[in-house]
A and B are shown apart, each in its own frame.
Chain A
């Protein structure tokens, strides 16, 4: 059986999803403040890394990396609500791309599995 990442369409799926997802984040005032870095290209690349990971694709991030990447955001108040928002936009992005509910649930499960690391809580 092929992996979730392959079922979703691999890197093409990431490229198709990234603009839609990032637009949702930028216009949602609950989370847009975390993306005020003016270097949009860099942000887009980071979001691709995020999507690749959430789609179950190849990545070499450890829990420690995830904690370090989000530490400055936690210092600025990142909490469970924000992770919920991310998961919500992730799901609606995939829905727009015609992905089935079962696979969307799987993606949400992967994203939620690193919640504690992202929020810098010792699991």
Chain B
């Protein structure tokens, strides 16, 4: 039987695990415990089937992407595999719209039929310009519903991508997308009643906005609360849209937090981390938490939420470097 890994074929010995086969062929696959515990040998299935046994202990968001533990997998049929964090193929896309969400955030909408089929709201693509500048951006919408992919871009003075988007990019221009990747997306195939908490700073709102609308679209019934952290009030964006969504859906609330804010406003003045931790849902063990934004924010809140009793397997995060 054969195994296709990164587009090359390898012959399996009878009873051999995927990991052993690839190591025998001198492929550099990281691995450690070889007992399905440490998860260092994780690969991703592109075609074929993988037994439940090889996915035990993995997060749901990894399972649905086809990730599995290669040390626990003895193939029963042909499999096509890639590295779990491997780059997928590049996809062509065209700029459909560009505009501003606030004083320092751009919105970019791209048309691409290939990208639309592949991705889930909340995952990210690497955007590649014609002069090969590349940056990662999260998917802020449900492309399969809207027919385009939406990114939110924080404008950084003199950033190569920002300069290109501001000065050169025009509607109709072609760009490339690599991906999608990331494990921040809504999972609701088994249960739609668990509490959902989403917290992001800056354009960390983008994936969360995508996830919220995806969850609502899929009929999530559990309570959902979205926190958006900003330094000053004018850094918030999509305020009207999110308030409208909260008006429309009883189980969804929107909580903007402004660090240097004043009391008595439509937002909460204070640190987003403190606000989130104070208001964690009662049923901590069932709560799913999504965190997106600056690295220090994500790492810190992740650890504190875990220490408050959230399950490590139900915390999903993406941080910007």
Whether B34 pairs with A59 at a CB distance below 8 angstroms is yes
Whether B33 pairs with A52 at a CB distance below 8 angstroms is yes
Q: Which residues of A contact B40 (CB under 8 A)?
A: 45
- Closest chain-A Cβ to B304's Cβ sits at a distance in Å of 10
Whether B302 pairs with A40 at a CB distance below 8 angstroms is yes
Interface string of B304-321 (1 = CB under 8 A from A): 001100011101000000
Count of B residues near A, CB < 8 Å?
21
Interface string of B262-277 (1 = CB under 8 A from A): 0000000000000000
Q: Which residues of B contact A22 (CB under 8 A)?
A: 306, 312
Q: Which residues of B contact A48 (CB under 8 A)?
A: 37-39, 57
- Alpha-carbon distance between A49 and B33 when the two chains are bound, in angstroms: 6
B36 within 8 A of A: yes
Whether A40 pairs with B312 at a CB distance below 8 angstroms is yes
B56 within 8 A of A: yes
Chain A's closest residue to B62 (CB) is A41
Q: Which residues of B contact A40 (CB under 8 A)?
A: 299, 302-303, 306, 312, 315
Whether A45 pairs with B307 at a CB distance below 8 angstroms is no
B32 within 8 A of A: yes
B240 within 8 A of A: no
Q: Which residues of B contact A57 (CB under 8 A)?
A: 35, 37
Whether B312 pairs with A52 at a CB distance below 8 angstroms is no
Q: Which residues of A contact B32 (CB under 8 A)?
A: 49, 65
Q: Which residues of A contact B306 (CB under 8 A)?
A: 19, 22-23, 26, 40
> Chain A interface secondary structure, helix, strand, loop or mixed?
helix
Q: Which residues of B contact A59 (CB under 8 A)?
A: 33-35, 37
A38 within 8 A of B: yes
A27 within 8 A of B: yes
Chain B's closest residue to A52 (CB) is B37
If the complex has contacts A23-B306, A40-B302, are A45 and B35 also in contact, measured as CB distance less than 8 A? no
Chain B's closest residue to A69 (CB) is B32
Whether B57 pairs with A11 at a CB distance below 8 angstroms is yes
Q: Which of A21-59 contact B (CB under 8 A)?
A: 22-23, 26-27, 38, 40-41, 44-46, 48-49, 51-53, 57-59
Q: Which of A1-29 contact B (CB under 8 A)?
A: 11, 14-15, 18-19, 22-23, 26-27
Count of A residues near B, CB < 8 Å?
26
- Alpha-carbon distance between A31 and B37 when the two chains are bound, in angstroms: 22
Of the candidates B37, B38, B299, B307, the one whose C-beta lies within 8 Å of that of A26 is: B307
- Alpha-carbon distance between A51 and B38 when the two chains are bound, in angstroms: 10
Chain A's closest residue to B302 (CB) is A40
Q: Which residues of B contact A60 (CB under 8 A)?
A: 33-35
Whether A38 pairs with B312 at a CB distance below 8 angstroms is no
- Alpha-carbon distance between A108 and B315 when the two chains are bound, in angstroms: 30
A-B contact pairs, 26 of them (CB 8 A): A11-B56, A11-B57, A14-B57, A19-B312, A22-B312, A26-B306, A26-B307, A38-B295, A40-B299, A40-B302, A40-B315, A41-B312, A44-B312, A45-B37, A45-B38, A45-B40, A46-B38, A49-B32, A49-B33, A49-B37, A53-B33, A59-B34, A59-B35, A60-B34, A61-B33, A65-B32
Known: A11-B57, A46-B38. 18 other contacts (CB 8 A): A11-B36, A15-B313, A19-B306, A23-B306, A23-B307, A27-B307, A38-B295, A38-B299, A40-B299, A40-B312, A49-B38, A52-B33, A53-B33, A58-B35, A59-B35, A59-B37, A60-B33, A60-B35
Taking Cβ atoms with an 8 Å cutoff, the residues of B that contact A are 32-40, 56-57, 295, 299, 302-303, 306-307, 311-313, 315
